[in-house]
Amino acid sequence: MPCAAPYKHFANQNARLQAIVDHINKEWYARRGLIVEKYAGDTGRQPAEISAAHISFPIEFPGFRSTIMMKDMEDAQENMRRNPN
């Protein structure tokens, strides 16, 4: 049985990319929220921990990094054409 296109659940590739970006944002804000709660009221440690997480997040998830670093939607579309999986 042939494999369906990975974006068949989306209206188009732009919608697929938007869903990926939304997922990345959701993951980042969840991580940031945990830090904000853990260091609530600590005005020195909280920003330092958020900054460290901002650096470690794209290192831990290199696929996310490549998506969020794209210059614009045209770059994203070209990247998806060259790397459909």
Q: What one-character DSSP code corresponds to residue 72?
A: S
pTM to 2 decimal places: 0.67
State the sign of the Cα–Cα–Cα–Cα dihedral 71, 57, 24, 80.
positive
pLDDT, tens digit, 9 for 90 and up, residues 11-69: 887 788 888 888 888 999 999 999 999 999 999 999 999 999 999 998 888 888 777 76
Residue 18 lies in a domain: yes
The one-letter amino acid code at 31 reads R
**So what's the pLDDT on residue 63?**
81
Q: Which domain holds residue 70?
A: 13-27+44-75
Structurally, the chain folds into a number of domains equal to 1
Domain membership of residue 81 (yes or no) is: no
Is the pLDDT at 7 greater than 80, yes or no? no
Look at 34 and 2; give whichever has higher pLDDT. Answer: 34
Q: Is residue 53 part of a domain?
A: yes
pLDDT in the model for residue 58: 86
pLDDT at 1: 46
Task: Answer whether residue 6 is part of any domain.
Answer: no
